[in-house]
Structure 1
């Protein structure tokens, strides 16, 4: 049994991620401002910031996709994530697995170079995702497959 609709295309999925990235990014910046204001240790602030920001990004996508099948960006673009059964929402574990690359910024816990390495890891993952979406007939990327076969469908 398959979800009703066509697999989400790269452009719609990119716009949805951009919208979600702005939302989570604003919250992340505010969180980091508060952390910097209350701490007098740049090392501790950097560590807490990396962990909190990675958890914020991964948590946002995992929570919304597992409970609603849609983040705010997906909702705006009329996209929905489905679990491997192509009928129900992904489980929390499946949603976390399909978005795990959003937490690669955790590398920022390593002072100075960690943020650069984490950023490069996220960039590499995004490139792999884009290439996979464009080349796979079902528009599934590597992390959809890692999650057991989740899929994003255009529902509107």
Structure 2
């Protein structure tokens, strides 16, 4: 048989949605981290100069900038996912987040699925905080990637389950 659809009685159509693959989600997250990273770098530079010069404390500057980073990331992902179902990275990759009910995730669901990014607050711990933070980020990313990769039906990781069953969907 030369018909390409002979082996698949239900070939995907152009408008069919399916759970997003790990690579698509990675690229979307990378785009979003670049966007938030540039904004954070500008804000952090201003805060670092202002706080270090104003107080003489580089530790205080680190605490404030860590809090700003977490607020920026959580605000960006929570707001865009709950109001549009997409961040800029997800728009580029044609992905969107669905809440457990199939519609947009609530603000609470979007916050819960992105709460793992608050790991950056560990960096506040003097001397070894950066190391613990780095290890925690790697552990979170690896377990999320493994969860997405291992759940071939829904592509949900622990953070999606924690949010009540959110799903990232690929259109087309």
Distance 2:167 2:38 in 1: 27
Q: TM-score, normalised by structure 2?
A: 0.85
- Aligned: 1:14 with 2:26: yes
What residue in structure 2 maps to residue 127 of structure 1? Answer: 142
Structure of larger gyration radius: 2
What residue in structure 2 maps to residue 33 of structure 1? Answer: 45
Q: Is the 8 A contact 1:6 1:154 kept in 2?
A: yes
Gaps of 5+ in 1: none
Gaps of 5+ in 2: 1-15
- Aligned: 1:73 with 2:85: no
Residue 115 of structure 1: CA displacement?
A: 2.2
What residue in structure 2 maps to residue 115 of structure 1? Answer: 130
Distance 1:96 1:124 in 2: 20
What residue in structure 1 maps to residue 73 of structure 2? Answer: 57
Aligned residue-pair number: 152
Distance 1:35 1:119 in 2: 22
Deviations 1:36-89 (A, max 9, x none): 111221011011011111111111111100000000000000000000012x11
Q: Is the 8 A contact 1:82 1:153 kept in 2?
A: yes
Q: Is the 8 A contact 1:69 1:80 kept in 2?
A: yes
RMSD of the alignment, in Å?
1.0
Deviations 1:101-139 (A, max 9, x none): 111101112122112212221111110010000110200
What residue in structure 1 maps to residue 161 of structure 2? Answer: 145
Distance 1:127 1:104 in 2: 14
